[in-house]
Chains A and B, each alone.
Chain A
Amino acid sequence: MELRPILSTLRRHKLTACLLILEIALTCAIVCNAVFLIGQRLQRMDMPSGVAGHELLQIQVADVAQPVNPYARVQEDLAVLRQVPGVQSVAFSNQVPFGGSSSNGNVLLDPNQPQRTLNATTYFGENLVPTMGVQLVAGRDLQPQDFVDVDTALKALGTGDSKDLPHVTLITRTLAERLWPGQNPLGRLIYLTPTVGLRVVGVVASLVRPNAYDAATAQYSMVVPLRMGADKGESYVIRTRPQDRERVLTAALAALKKADPQRVVTTQRSFDEVRRHFFKDDRAMAGILVGVVVALLIVTALGIVGLASFWVSQRRRTIGVRRALGATRGNILHYFQTENFVLATLGIGLGMVLAYGINLFLMTHYELPRLPAIYFPVGAISLWLIGQLAVLGPALRAAAVPPVVATRSV
């Protein structure tokens, strides 16, 4: 196909052509970045938790009056819950993966170092690893004799008496690799304060933070052998078969209510709901982005249809003359398709530059990573396709112009 006649025609409609190019460029730039953002969100929502997600339930209860012995209270509740049919395992935890509310500590490798090495979350509670289905990959799990009551530990922290403090911990593989790259973490010491040294006795494959807002540090988790008393901030975690969840949750709540009718249940949900809740904003954002991309492509496509229709009706006479001089329908069709391709290509070229610019802006203002090169061809191909689809109708109409038009005046 000869490009020269197309270019010379476009030169006669410089402004309109420029506007169409600009529209395609803007669409291309926004679509590239929006699709990239959607990918980011989807990837984030897919973050691994390290726990048996579909088998867990979370219950939080609050007492109206503080129980006399909160530690005994927890043991009673755990015994009650274990009796519920369908319950495989129960634990009492200070936090749950993706739960949002979290307890965190500064990790030191040397008690005297001036700056912390990193910040990690600290899970407390007995029986956590088997209940949550966390996979132990090295060393041993925490044993009952490792555990210390929180109140005792807080008191010991104040007096500096180290014998009533916990001495061991479990860490995730990611945390081990970050603290001691390529070395065996077992037996090494982590300091949470200058006087609390915890020896690593086991490594788990994965256990995500409750506050996993940043993918890079999402796996910085430790399990510390602290036992807590009944308190409304802590959670009972129940493991059951996925199909039993609903029934077990109802039965467990009834059993807890029966043990003490006075208390208030503040949270009752499956772990899937915890996860859904944690990522709700990401899901909403991804949905909005998809909506914008679709709307943009539709508006642009309709714009192309509109302009192309105009040009076709404007050039009816010229088309007739060409047909009369021997151009086939195919020639006319290809003419409009090529014209659109040329405009789209110019728009896409400009759009790439714009997309890069928008990405640079987002990188500095919203801490987003660089746009991977793969998004450029994806954006280009989608706009070429949209352009060709949009122009097809008007181009077919143009091809249908009979040669006899040439002989008519206006």
Chain B
Amino acid sequence: MFTYYLDLALRSLRRNKALTALMVLAIALGIGASMTTLTVLHVLSGDPLPGRSGDIYYPQVDPQDLRGMYPSKEPPMQLTLIDGMNLLHAKRADRQALMTGGDVPIQPEQSALDPFYVDARYTTADFFPMFGTPFLYGHGWNAADDEAKTREVVISRELDQKLYGGANSVGRTLRIAGTAFQIVGVLDRWQPNPHFYDLNTGSYAYGEQVFLPLQTMMDLHLNRDGSTDCWGNGGGGTGTILPAASCVWLQFWVQLGNPVKVAAYRQFLVHYSEDQKALGRFQRAPNVRLRNVMQWLDHNGVVPDDVRLQALLAFGFLAVCLVNTVGLMLAKFMRRSGELAVRRALGASRRTLFAQLLVESGVIGLVGGFGGMLLAMLGLWLVRQRSSDYAALAHLDSSMLLTTFLLALCATLLAGLLPAGRACQIAPALQLKSS
């Protein structure tokens, strides 16, 4: 029966080629536009640490003076050096890492290569196990190395490729800003998107090529980049000069394995703030936050507004395309009331007519959906040609591919329901009489 309906549908669609093409094109354009924007949205609002992000938290405390305070005001987005070191050394979480960003000059031994700058992450040891960074060779450093300010460095696979042609470079010496560092590890490809642990660098498609201990960076006065916020008489510090004590410029992340630990850590932050207030360092009442990765990204509004707006716009466009198709299909089905009436009169039930018409709209949906998928691929290719920092990430993955198809099929079947239902409401005799 189905093949017969399919045959009927194809015949009917062939009869009016321009109209069929119009319906297919409208569906394809609508689906293509919405899938392009939806894919971009999906990629940008993804989880940077799948499976881990729920356990990783970003503690915030409020060390500012009383100027500019009002109730319910958010604490600063980062930590001062003193608070960062205190919280790090308290070791109240399963793992914890204090970090900031910058860039450093690499001086290759090979004379063929000029010195060049790469982005660097200055962090403490737990960064690697906490974020589950994959190592191609070697490993990270440990907490004792942090305190000893060792000249040890972990490099990215990309930098390893550039300097050593991808060979195992662990144990080799790398000159960074005039100092000899020993390479202890080479990371495999690792680029969490968004760049959740420091959003000041730009949120997407950003990856450091060099990781070295935070205290080594302070010891050597390496160049620091990123956001610095000061209050009172604090000075921002420029280049290699560290910011003053009344400036926040460090990010601190902790791993807390279960809700009990999370509650305990929140309590610890409150106690810490109270202690600091008693010591006279803090002036405000305890004002702490403890958000996990996804909450932190949400709080910072990482996904650009424009991307959401584009998705809304595309769905508006899809709605217009669907209404268009429903209208055309309705007109088409109504036009064929004569033929339908004959089938009714010959004994076809309403239900079979309905099924037949639905097959016809389904065919349009399927072809339109396929066209939409091609258009979405074209759309994403166009997105990748743009210069936005997230442009390179716009790829259709398997889940979005499936969504595209389901969306197309559902949309057109839905669009077919109304016309098909309407066209079946035919009194056979009346139609036969009038023609």
A215 neighbours in B (Cβ, 8 Å): none
The answer to whether B239 and A299 touch across the interface, beta carbons within 8 angstroms, is: no
Answer yes or no: A353 CB below 8 A from chain B CBs. no
User: B19 — nearest CB in chain A belongs to which residue?
Assistant: A306
A19 & B313 in contact (Cβ 8 Å cutoff): no
Is B392 on the interface with A (CB-CB < 8 A)? no
Q: From residue 199 to 236 of chain B, which have CB atoms closer than 8 A to chain A?
A: 221, 223, 225, 232-236
Is B187 interfacial (CB-CB < 8 Å)?
no
| 8 Å CB interface, B107-160 against A | 107, 114-117
B328 near A307 (CB under 8 angstroms)?
yes
B346 to chain A, nearest CB (A): 20
Inter-chain CA distance A261–B422, complex, in Å, is 80
Asked if B26 and A280 sit within 8 Å, CB to CB, the answer is no
Interchain CB contact under 8 A, A157 and B235: yes
Interface bits B397-435 vs A (CB < 8 Å: 1, else 0): 000000000000000000000100010000000000001
Q: How far is the CA of A26 from the CA of B321 in the complex (A)?
A: 10
Chain A: CB-nearest residue to B240: A66
Q: Is B33 an interface residue (CB 8 A)?
A: yes
- Digitize A61-104: 1 where CB-to-B-CB distance is under 8 Å, 0 elsewhere: 01111100000000000000000000000000010000000010
Q: A114-B69, A233-B238 are in contact. List 11 more A-B contacts (CB 8 A).
A: A16-B331, A20-B327, A115-B67, A116-B68, A151-B241, A154-B244, A288-B313, A303-B22, A306-B19, A306-B327, A307-B327
9 A–B contacts from the bound complex (CB under 8 Å)? A16-B334, A103-B236, A116-B67, A233-B238, A289-B313, A292-B317, A296-B320, A306-B22, A410-B435
Given contacts A193-B233, A264-B117, contact A62 B105 (CB under 8 A): yes
Asked if A221 is at the interface of the complex by the 8 Å CB criterion, the answer is no
A302 and B26 contact, Cβ closer than 8 Å, known pairs A233-B239, A288-B310: yes
The yes or no answer to A310 lying at the interface (CB within 8 A) is: yes
Whether A264 contacts B33 by the Cβ 8 Å rule is no
A26 near B114 (CB under 8 angstroms)? Answer: no
Q: Which 8 A-B pairs have the closest CB atoms?
A: A231-B239, A19-B327, A303-B324, A154-B235, A310-B331, A64-B105, A65-B178, A23-B323
Across-interface contacts of A114 in B (CB, < 8 A): 66-69
In the docked arrangement, what's the CA distance between A249 and B237, Å? 30
* Other-chain residue from B67, B221, B306 in contact with A281 (beta carbon distance below 8 A): B306
A286 to B238, CA, bound (A): 37
A292 and B388 contact, Cβ closer than 8 Å, known pairs A262-B115, A306-B22: no
Q: Does A158 contact B (CB under 8 A)?
A: yes
Question: Any chain A CB within 8 A of the CB of B377?
Answer: no
By a beta-carbon cutoff of 8 Å, the part of chain A in contact with chain B is 13, 15-16, 19-20, 22-23, 26-27, 30, 34, 37, 62-66, 94, 103, 106, 114-116, 150-151, 153-154, 157-158, 160, 193-195, 228-229, 231-233, 262, 264, 266, 277, 280-281, 284-285, 288-289, 292, 295-296, 299-300, 302-303, 306-307, 309-311, 313-314, 362, 366, 410
Please name all residues of chain A whose beta carbon is closer than 8 Å to the beta carbon of B237 when the two chains form the complex: 154
Say whether, besides A16-B330, A264-B115, A194 and B233 are in contact (CB < 8 Å): yes
**Are B313 and A22 within 8 A (Cβ)?**
no
CA A9 – CA B88 in complex, angstroms? 79
The yes or no answer to B288 lying at the interface (CB within 8 A) is: no
Residue pair A154, B241 in contact (C-beta under 8 Å): yes
Asked if A299 contacts B177 (CB within 8 A), the reply is no
B247 shortest CB reach to chain A, Å: 11
Q: Are A30 and B239 in contact (CB under 8 A)?
A: no
> Considering the chains assembled together, what is the distance between the CA atoms of A114 and B69 in angstroms?
8
Let me know if B384 is at the binding interface, CB within 8 A.
Answer: no
A34 partner residues in chain B, CB cutoff 8 A: 313
> Which residues from chain A contact B308 at a C-beta distance below 8 Å?
366
Q: Which residues of A contact B323 (CB under 8 A)?
A: 19, 22-23, 26
Q: Are A64 and B178 in contact (CB under 8 A)?
A: yes
Q: Is the CB of A310 within 8 A of B335?
A: yes
Is the CB of B326 closer than 8 A to any CB of chain A? yes
Contact call B422/A15, Cβ cutoff below 8 A: yes
- How far is A116 from B67 in the complex, measured between Cα atoms in Å? 8
Docked CA distance A306–B232 (Å): 70
* B residues less than 8 Å from A300 (CB atoms): 320, 324
A158 contact set on B, CB distance < 8 A = 233, 235, 244
Question: How far, in angstroms, from A127 to B117 measured CA to CA in the complex?
Answer: 29
Contact B326 A19 (CB under 8 A): yes
Chain B hits for A310, CB < 8 A: 328, 331-332, 335
CB-based contact A264/B240 at 8 Å: no
Bitwise interface map of B from 75 to 111 toward A, beta carbon under 8 Å scored 1, else 0: 0000000000000000000000000000101010000
Judge whether B331 and A307 touch: CB under 8 Å. Answer: yes
Task: Judge if B72 is at the interface, Cβ distance under 8 Å.
Answer: no
